[in-house]
Amino acid sequence: MSEHAGLSQRELQIVQSYAGGDTSPTIADTLFIALSTVRTHWAAIYRKLEVSSKLGLAMRLKGEVPQLRSQIEMETAISEPALNVEEAISREKALAEVLRIISAPQRDLDVVMPRS
């Protein structure tokens, strides 16, 4: 890719890994980052390269200029990873609550898990 379009070093690593045939889970494992972090980087990459899909990205990497998408299509493509981040945050909050309950004194556990 001749122009970097303001991509960060990590975003360039992700794009290069993708160009090499890696999937998002493989990229996450290789770079030792969470899959949700890769998805967040994808949103930034799409915005910076003005593409709305991996197909558009592949065209951009080949030097082809993908058709410009409407603002609504771009926002939709970007919002999907954002929703994944929100879901991850919700899971983290739920896990924190479970851990709080588990680490609570025994009397609090009786409320959550009554003994038979």
Q: What is the pLDDT of residue 69?
A: 58
d(CA 10, CA 62): 20
Domain with residue 60: its CATH number is 1.10.10.10
Q: CA–CA separation, 30 vs 14, rounded Å?
A: 10
Q: Which residue has the higher pLDDT, 109 or 41?
A: 41
Structure tokens at 89: 């945050």
Domain for residue 3, yes or no?
no
User: Is the pTM of the predicted complex or chain greater than 0.75?
Assistant: no
- Domain assignment present for 98: yes
* DSSP at 74: H
- Asked if the structure places residue 45 within a domain, the reply is yes
Residue 14: its pLDDT value, please? 93
Q: Give the closest residue to 16 by CA, choosing from 53, 55, 61, 46.
A: 61
The more confidently predicted of residues 116 and 34 is 34
**Cα 105 to Cα 20: distance, rounded to the nearest angstrom:** 52
Q: What pLDDT does residue 2 have?
A: 46
Q: Which domain holds residue 23?
A: 9-112
> Is residue 107 over pLDDT 80?
no
Over residues 43-101, the pLDDT tens digits come to 889 888 888 788 888 888 888 776 655 666 666 666 666 667 777 788 888 888 888 87
Residue 107: what are its φ and ψ, rounded to 5°?
-60, -30
The closest alpha carbon to 69, from 88, 55, 82, belongs to 55
Q: pLDDT value at position 83? A: 66
In the chain, how many domains are there?
Answer: 1
Residue 59 lies in a domain: yes
